[in-house]
Each structure stands twice: as C-alpha cells, then as structure tokens.
Structure 1
Amino acid sequence: MKALTRSFRQLLQYPSAIAGILLILMLVALSVYTLFAIPYDEAVRLWRGGEEVWGETPRTARPVWTNWFTPDKKPETIVINSALEEDGIEKDVEEVGTDMWDIGMVFEFDYPYDGFPQEMIVFFTADYEEKNPFVSMTWETPDGRQFRMSDTDLAPAGSYRFDQDNRLARRLPEGLSPQVALFAVPESDPPTSLKGTYRLYVDGIVFEEGSDFEAKLVVYGQVHGMGTDHRRRDLTLPLLWGTPIALVFGLVASLGTTIITMLIAAMGVWYGGLVDDLIQRITEINMLLPLLPILIMVGTFYNRSIWT
C-alpha cells in the first residue's frame, strides 16, 4: 500500500499525467452516463429510426457551437407545435355555418439569424369521421408582406412542404427557393435575411362537430446539436455511444499488446541465441519506424478497388 501511495505521489509531479488521468475519468463518467441515459436497445431504435424519430432535425447540419466562432449566425431549427401548451398556440374556433366551424391559429416566431433555413414543413394531424378538414395558410414577413400558400384538405396525418408548392413558387422572385424568398430582404442581391418576427396564419374549416386538427411548423436550420447526417440523425447519439466502445477497444488493445509483448520477451529469454537476437532486431526496427505517419499514409492511399 505504501508503495502504491508513493507511486501515486510521484505521478502527481507530472502535469501531463494528471491531465491524462482526468481525461480518462471524464470519459469513464461519460460512458456510465450513456449506458444509463440511453440503453442499448433505445440507441439502436433511435439510430435506425426514420422521419418518425428524426422528423424535426435538419439534414447534414453543422454543430451549434460553430456559431460561436463566426460573425454570421447560422439559423437553428425552430419547432412550434399547436398540440403543446408550452408553445402557446391559441385556437380561435368559430361556427360559420351549418356543420361548419372555422379554426384559426397563428404561429409566431422571431428570426434573428443571418442565413436561410434548409427547408420548411408544416405537419398536420386531423381528427374527423368522414369529411376532411380544409386548410389555407398565409405567410407574413416582419415588413408586412403576405404570401398565400396552396389550399389543401387534410388526411389523418400529412404534411405541407413549402418547396413543393408550385402555386407559391409562382408568387415568389424567380430563381429563389421558398425558404430563401420568404426570409429575404426584398430585391436584395445576393439575398440577405430579413430579421424580425414572422407569422404563419393557419385557417381551417371542419365539417363535423367534434372534428379538429393540429399543426406543427418546423423551420429546419443549418446548425443543430452536435451536427446531423444525411438521414437527419443527431450525431450526439454516436458520439455518446462511441465513448464506451472506444474505451473497451482501448482497454483490450492495451492489455493485449502488453501480454503479447511479455510473452515475446519471455520467449527470447527462454530460448536465447538466434531467437533472442531476432526478437531484439525486430524490436529495434519497430522503435525506429514512425508509426503514426505510416498509418496516415495507409489511410490516405488505401482504396477498396483493386484497379486504382
């Protein structure tokens, strides 16, 4: 015990050793947190999930922290759901005729960013028996301009994608996608974002008593979490689960190389002579080789194809 305490005190004299110990402890703590916070089955479900899991995240987005180092602030994803009380969307319901009720909602949000969204989608869920609700939408910019979207009837679950609305595209400046034109300063070249408060007016008609619908506006940003891939998956998940896997690989590799080295050294001592000389020469060559540059070159020039 005294020898262990003495060795630990000697180790504390080296700042690099302290930093290494703290780093390993941090990674171990992160691994333990990951195993409890995101169990393996849940991690697999999330990673294999599609739009039903990652429908609110943008594609190939940069990490949020990149905004800390650039003067231009890239837009983050904005999600407003009428079904959630905390989002504060109030429904204005009014009976306008026999078996006809008008349901109005206003989605209001601030846009302080310098860039433009990747895409914009409104997700709908409707509750009805036979007659589909009918919905119209209007977009209002901070300077008071309004753009009318195509009217649509609702299925039990569906979505409206701004960039697929040909009627809306004809009302916008030629050559600009809706997610750019709806946020751009008028007649700016190149387009620059107009900062301020935007509103989306959703006005629906239901034809059955008790029928209702909910809407969720998703304005997909250019930055999100720790980044996303082409399938909208948040890279926080593989980063977290990669930590315990990497630690296990590192532990197995370090133990394996240590045991193999001890066995090879024992063989050299046991047999001696030519075997010992051969092991020593191989050890000297291994010590002289610049391992990291060689690995980098192999990774750079290696190709799966046998032709190139």
Structure 2
Amino acid sequence: MRWVDVKASMKEFWFEFRRQKGGLFGLVLLFLLIVTALGAPYITEPDIPKKWGQYWEGNPTTVPPVWYNYFTTKKLAPHEILTSNDLTIVSEGEDIGGGMKYYGFEFTYENNYDTPPSDIIIRNIGVKLTDLNSPAQIIITLVRPDGVKIELLNTDLREGSIYQLAKDGKVRNTVFRWASEFEDPQKIAESGETLKSTMDTMKVIFAKAQEGILTNPEALKGTYTFQVDIFTFKEGDQVDLSNTEIVLSGRTYGLMGTDYKARDLWAGLVWGTRVSLTVGVTVAVLTVLIGIFYGVTSAYLGGWKDEFMQRVNEFWASIPTLPILILLGAAFKGHVSLWTIVFLMVAFYWTGIAKVARSMALQIKEQTYVEAAIALGAGTGRIIFKHIMPQIMPYAFAAMALNVPGAVLTEASLSFLGLGDPTAVTWGQILYDAQTQSATINGYWWWVIPPGLAITLVAFTFVLIGISLDRVLNPRLKRL
C-alpha cells in the first residue's frame, strides 16, 4: 500500500473517530494518564519505588489529605517542615566561661487549628563532641500565647539525637504535672496514672489552661514560641545548626493523605499509573497479536490442522485463569515479579481473541483476491500476513483497547489478595495494605477510595476508546 493511500485512510478514520464524543473524551483521559505515568519521577520523587516498602520517617501516619479541612468544621493542622532558614538564631557559640559555649535558636508556630500537630520533631542538630562521656545539654522551652512558659525538656544532646516531643516520656510527665494544676485534685489522686497514659500530649500543650484540659482539651489559638538552648562543656565541642529541621507532624498531609507506614499515598497513586498502563497495554497488545495470528493461521490451514488447533484452543480456554494465577501467586508469594504476572496473563488470555479471529478469517479466505493470490503461487505466510491479517486489524485495535481493563483488574486483584509483586508500587498493593490494616473499619477512606477510583478511571478510559473504535471500524455498529 502506498503512503498516499495510508494517509488518506488515516484521514478518513480520524474524520469518523472525532464524531465519537466518548472516544474523544477517552483520548483526553488517556493523554492525562500517559503524562502522569511518564512524569511520575518529576511529579513526586524518582526514588519512590525503592523506598516504597520502607517506613517514611517524619511523616504522620494514617492522616487525611489537606483538602479534608474544606469539608469539616474542626480544622486539622497540616504537615510542615521548618528548615534552618525558618529559625531565629539566638547564639552560635557564645563563650560563657569555663570552656562552656551557648548555642540557641527559636521558632514560632501559629496555631489556627482546632486540632494541633500530632508531634513536633527536632532533628539534624550537628554535634561534634571531644569527650563522648560529656554530652552537650539541650533545653526546650515553650512560651504559649497566654504567657505561660513551660520547660518541656532538659536532657543530653549527642550526635544524631532526635527529639520527638509527643513520644518523649519526660515531656509527657512535665506536661501532665503542669496540666494537673487545672484539674480537680481528687480526680488526679484517683485516676492520675490513667489520665497520664491516655493524655494526648500535643493537644494538651496547645489547649486552654482550664478544667478539663486533660480529658477534653479545647484549642488555644495564637502564636507559640519554642526556645531551644544548647550548652557544650568541653573545649573543641561544636554545634552546627545549618541543617537543623523542625517537623510539625500534621493531622493532614499532601493531596491524598498517608497510610500506616506514613507513605504519601499521592506518590503511590502517581507511580501506580505507570504500572497499570504498562501491564494493561503490554498484556492487551501481546494477547491480541498472538490470538489473531493463531486464529487466522488455523482458519487458513483448514482441515485436520484447523481441527487440532481448535481443540488445543478449547482446552487452553477451559483452564480457569484467575484460580491458576492465585495458586501460582500463593506458591511463590513474595517472589513473583510483575513481568511474571504479565507473562502468565498473556499465556492464558489469547484464546477468546483466537476464536473471533478464526471466524473472521474463514470468511476472508473465500474472497476472490485471496484465491487469486493462491493461484499466482503466493505462499502461506504471504497470504496470512499480506491479505488476511490486515483485514482483521480494525477488530484488533478495538480488542486491544477493550482488553486493557481486564489486565489491569487482574493485576489489581492479585495484588489485593497479597499475591502480586511486593516490590512494585501498584494500586492493588495499596488496597491490600488498606485491607490488612482495616482501613475501612477505621474510617481511613482516603486509603481506599482513590486507588479504587484510579482503577475504575483506567478501565473507563479504554472502554470509551474501544467502543468508539468498534463503532468506527465495524460498519454494522455505525448505525447503532
């Protein structure tokens, strides 16, 4: 076929396809999915697949997305990270005599939320000690909007020290002693230990100083100042504040919240797009090509060869695909790669395509131009690839689009059952983690709904394209 004819055919096809509104909408969705898949390293981070199985230090666990605040009356504090540029440096090594030096900085937090951060983490304070038996000293003091000043922590500072105020036992004891002054002494005497163990340290720190602060804290809004004083005791001891970070562990995080490993679910959704498209398109293209070649070859050969090939096809089709995949996944749990799953799906999914292709090829091979090619001495391969298969390609393109959702759903189903590739970032794997952690029961909707909608969106996209292709390329459907 000449290039002019190909160009004319493509123009005619596009003229017909653009009249299919559903197909155009599907193309727009497909474009957005492809951009998301290809841009995953830039939209999120390039090392997400490597660290997906790890716990993400510094992030809050199982918190909703930031836009959740638009739909709730009680506003939740978002996640924030303050760097050294956000700190007010008070001193960078002031000599206070006796070989001692003083370093100090402070930072402020404007609390305009009904629920404060779940933790405040101070990390990456660079310390070099000349004598490991003589650590530096760090004192963390809070100045509240009501003027109350609380020394939260007074402890040793060593290299690599990380201070999580909400989880520190000393901070809990200090805050409890301060808050107990506003409670009924009899209540403290009778159930003080219970109150201390169940107390939310951060909510109490950011609460109004009034009765009920331990059991029903009411947020005190305003500016909170945290003063951090550091003392070294030996000549040569050094403190570097240039890399210091303050993590205000929020009650909301990012566009899609976090899971039980504090992983950013937005990153999982973006990278899952790449996996789903790769699996879906690869399986669809290979199964359709194999099925069409097998069906056309069977139809053209005819006779006992056709009969034998059809019995093989029927036997292969009778094998229950999903149960076989589940059994194989269970047998090699934790060791099944994504490409192994793709190979298994391709191995089982071509049979239906072969049946349809054979029925179409049986009609095409009786056409006059095919008989003329045979009379001129054309070989079997030339007739199959040159004269019969091109006539079936319109069906092949529609079948490819319509087979993508099935492959995506199968991979997601295996991952949801915990039988997929544990090293891959997939939507099914996210749903599996949500199911094992009882996300639905606990109300973690942001962990369940977005991956499910993403799977639905991919399926919907290719169904729209597939149906539109079928209508354009199959004349009988144009009237429907």
The interval holding the TM-score normalised by the smaller chain is 0.7 to 0.9
Q: Rate the CA distance shift 1:65–1:152 in 2: closer, same or farther, 3 A.
A: same
Which residue number corresponds to residue 225 of structure 2? 199
Q: Which moved more, 1:9-18 or 1:251-260?
A: 251-260
Which residue number corresponds to residue 46 of structure 1? 51
Which residue number corresponds to residue 277 of structure 2? 247
- Write the letter of the residue equivalent to 1:106: E
Does 1:135 pair with 2:138?
Answer: yes
The answer to whether the Cα contact below 8 Å between 2:58 and 2:247 also exists between their aligned partners in 1 is yes
The answer to whether the Cα contact below 8 Å between 1:169 and 1:177 also exists between their aligned partners in 2 is no
- Write the letter of the residue equivalent to 2:114: D
Which residue number corresponds to residue 90 of structure 2? 91
Which residue number corresponds to residue 169 of structure 2? 165
Q: Distance in 2 between matches of 1:220 and 1:209?
A: 34
Does 1:107 pair with 2:107?
Answer: yes
Deviation at 1:49, TM superposition (A): 4.8
Deviation at 1:37, TM superposition (A): 6.8
The answer to whether the Cα contact below 8 Å between 1:56 and 1:79 also exists between their aligned partners in 2 is no
The answer to whether the Cα contact below 8 Å between 2:119 and 2:202 also exists between their aligned partners in 1 is yes
Which residue number corresponds to residue 217 of structure 1? 246
Q: Distance in 2 between matches of 1:191 and 1:38?
A: 37
Deviation at 1:21, TM superposition (A): 0.3
User: Which one of the candidate residues 1, 5, 8 is aligned to 2:11?
Assistant: 5
Structure in which a larger fraction of residues adopt strand: 1
Q: Rate the CA distance shift 1:169–1:9 in 2: closer, same or farther, 3 A.
A: same
- Write the letter of the residue equivalent to 1:105: F
- Write the letter of the residue equivalent to 2:204: A
Q: Rate the CA distance shift 1:74–1:97 in 2: closer, same or farther, 3 A.
A: same
Q: Rate the CA distance shift 1:106–1:38 in 2: closer, same or farther, 3 A.
A: closer
Which residue number corresponds to residue 288 of structure 1? none
* Relative contact order, higher structure (CA 8 A, sep 6+): 1
How many residues are matched? 285
What SS does structure 1 have at the residue aligned with 2:52?
Answer: helix
Deviation at 1:147, TM superposition (A): 1.9
The two structures have a TM-score, normalised by structure 2, of 0.52
Q: Distance in 1 between matches of 2:224 and 2:68?
A: 25
Q: Distance in 1 between matches of 2:39 and 2:224?
A: 39
What SS does structure 1 have at the residue aligned with 2:276?
Answer: helix
Q: Distance in 1 between matches of 2:45 and 2:17?
A: 36
- Write the letter of the residue equivalent to 1:201: Q
Q: Rate the CA distance shift 1:72–1:7 in 2: closer, same or farther, 3 A.
A: farther
| Aligned-pair identity (%) | 23
Does 1:259 pair with 2:282?
Answer: no
User: Which one of the candidate residues 183, 200, 203 is aligned to 1:180?
Assistant: 203
Deviations 1:142-192 (A, max 9, x none): 222222223111111112222322432432344422111001223356323
Q: Distance in 1 between matches of 2:76 and 2:219?
A: 11
Q: Distance in 2 between matches of 1:97 and 1:88?
A: 26
Deviation at 1:59, TM superposition (A): 1.4
What SS does structure 2 have at the residue aligned with 1:138?
Answer: strand
Which residue number corresponds to residue 267 of structure 2? 237
Q: Distance in 2 between matches of 1:139 and 1:36?
A: 39
Give structure 1 stretches of 5+ with no counterpart: 284-290
- Write the letter of the residue equivalent to 2:230: G
Deviation at 1:91, TM superposition (A): 2.7
What SS does structure 1 have at the residue aligned with 2:89?
Answer: coil
Q: Distance in 2 between matches of 1:209 and 1:152?
A: 21
Structure in which a larger fraction of residues adopt helix: 2
RMSD (CA atoms): 3.6
Q: Distance in 2 between matches of 1:179 and 1:257?
A: 56
Q: Rate the CA distance shift 1:18–1:69 in 2: closer, same or farther, 3 A.
A: farther
What SS does structure 2 have at the residue aligned with 1:90?
Answer: strand
Which residue number corresponds to residue 14 of structure 1? 20
